[in-house]
Amino acid sequence: MPRGRVVRRDANWWAPLNTAYRQFMKANGAKPDRAWLESWFEQHAAATWPNGDQPSVQHAWDHCKCLRTLDQARDYFRQYRARKKDEREAHRDDGTPAGSASSQPPRMHTSHDGSAVEVRVPSQAPERRVSVSGRRRCRSTNGSTLDEEPSPQVPAIETSGGKPSRPQRMASRRSQRSGSCTTATEQEPAAHGS
């Protein structure tokens, strides 16, 4: 077998052991101990796995530790499906697609120094005010205006090449297209109160 390759067992390969284990749990109300598994293994392993593909007792014990009764397994999957259905219905009610980034909680990542850092999806980021300093004052993203009084237009701040920088040009074009900006005579303060 090539290294790193996972060998899949045939369907129902563990079935005889699972059945015996679950019958013991149903009859006694508790999981069997390792001594029970070893005695079952001595009696039934050769007949259960005749091709020489017999697991070790330790491998069988590791498998059995994960087993639950059929009722417990059914209940688990019923609860799982009900929880998923509730999540889908909740997203349908609020209009958010179930798989969208805004429907997911913020993820925690580890920074380079090992401390936890919360990463927000763009739709969860706080609203930012949009404006062009020294030229126009625009409406914020929530619709309120930053400056309602029209005043004479102030020329754009010029860069060393004699023309506005690319971000200034792009912001100016956006504000002209939206028509939601008013002119301002002074530059916007660095920190505008919300």
Cβ contact 138:188 at 8 Å: no
pLDDT of residue 78: 95
The per-residue pLDDT for 187 is: 47
CB 44 within 8 A of CB 20: yes
pLDDT at 119: 61
CB distance 187 to 155 below 8 Å = no
**DSSP element (H, E) containing 110:** strand 107-110
pLDDT score for 132: 47
- The CA-to-CA distance between both ends of the chain, in Å, stands at 65
Q: Could you say which residues of the chain have pLDDT below 50?
A: 1, 125, 130-132, 135, 148-151, 154, 158, 181-187, 194
* 182: β partners: 137
- pLDDT the model gives residue 84: 94
pTM greater than the 0.85 cutoff: no
